[in-house]
Amino acid sequence: MRLVLLGAPGAGKGTQADLIRRELDLAHIASGDLLRDAQSKGSELGLLAKSYMEKGQLVPDETVAGLILERIAEPDCDKGFILDGFPRNVDQAEVLRSALGGKNMIIDNVIYIKVSESELLSRLSGRWICQECQAPYHEVTSRPRIEGKCDKCGGKLYQRADDTVETVKKRLEVYLSQTMPLVEYYRENGQLVEVDGEQSIQGVSEELLRVLKGNGST
């Protein structure tokens, strides 16, 4: 089984990818990890990717697709894989389709963990971190006992720049503008599996596995 996993920041994509990996015995291929690993191994494509990244440039879609093809040729991908972080837009999806087609492969399902923008803002913008021990807190789901102080060490809590409401809104705007056309692209191709990401973690997991194991409908 070959899968693509889509979901905005805060949708719980990483948690669900790990569960699918374990339950279905699939390799989890996260594009960010893939790029770092390829660089450390010093492969030809890895060094090429590194040359772009050192200049502060985006790694070309064809290079990332090439790295993915290298990765899925490894033995642990024989039973299938989950792609996480690529493609991010329709152009990348076309590059991926062409690259896999050259190996007589197709993507079986594209899982889209759907979460409303208001819920994503709530999840992402309420995070606070302890300055001393880096313990995480959240205004909604895990508040400290004393406002502004860490329960563990008493350190002062602070909010990272990328966790403010304004920054999170901008991140989501960019993500949604790129991803919604991609969601429709896969929907039109009959590959999309849409899951309600506002359920509990267990609820999302159960729905995903029910569909992927063929006990539900898409």
pLDDT bracket for residue 218 (50, 70, 90): very low
Residue 168 is encoded by which pair of tokens? 């999170």
Q: What per-residue confidence (pLDDT) applies to 217?
A: 43
187 is catalytic: no
Catalytic residue, from 21, 71, 123, 127: name it: 127
Catalytic residue, from 103, 156, 160, 170: name it: 160
pLDDT bracket for residue 12 (50, 70, 90): confident
- Arithmetic mean of pLDDT, 14-37: 89
Catalytic residue, from 36, 88, 97, 169: name it: 88
For residue 26, give Cα distances in angstroms to 73, 75, 124, 207. Answer: 13, 11, 28, 18
Question: 3-state class of 3 per DSSP?
Answer: strand
36 is catalytic: no
How big is the CA angle at 186 (ends 111 and 19), to the nearest 5 degrees? 10
Closest CA to 80 of 105, 102, 111: 105
Q: What per-residue confidence (pLDDT) applies to 204?
A: 94
Q: Kindly report, residue by residue over 54-113, the tens digit of the pLDDT.
A: 777 778 888 888 888 889 999 999 999 999 989 988 999 999 999 999 989 999 999 999
Q: What per-residue confidence (pLDDT) applies to 127?
A: 85
pLDDT bracket for residue 174 (50, 70, 90): confident
Q: Kindly report, residue by residue over 40-67, the tens digit of the pLDDT.
A: 877 788 888 888 877 777 788 888 888 8
Q: What per-residue confidence (pLDDT) applies to 113?
A: 95
Rounded Cα distance between 195 and 197, Å, is 6
Number of H helices, E strands in the chain: 8, 8
79 is catalytic: no
145 pLDDT above the threshold of 70: yes
Consecutive H or E run containing 181: helix 165-188
Consecutive H or E run containing 172: helix 165-188
The conformational region for residue 172 under phi > 0 = left, psi -120 to 50 = alpha, else beta, is alpha
Contact between 128 and 137 under an 8 Å Cβ cutoff? The reply is yes
210 is catalytic: no
| pTM summary value | 0.79
22 is catalytic: no
116 pLDDT above the threshold of 50: yes
Question: 3-state class of 20 per DSSP?
Answer: helix
Q: What per-residue confidence (pLDDT) applies to 80?
A: 94
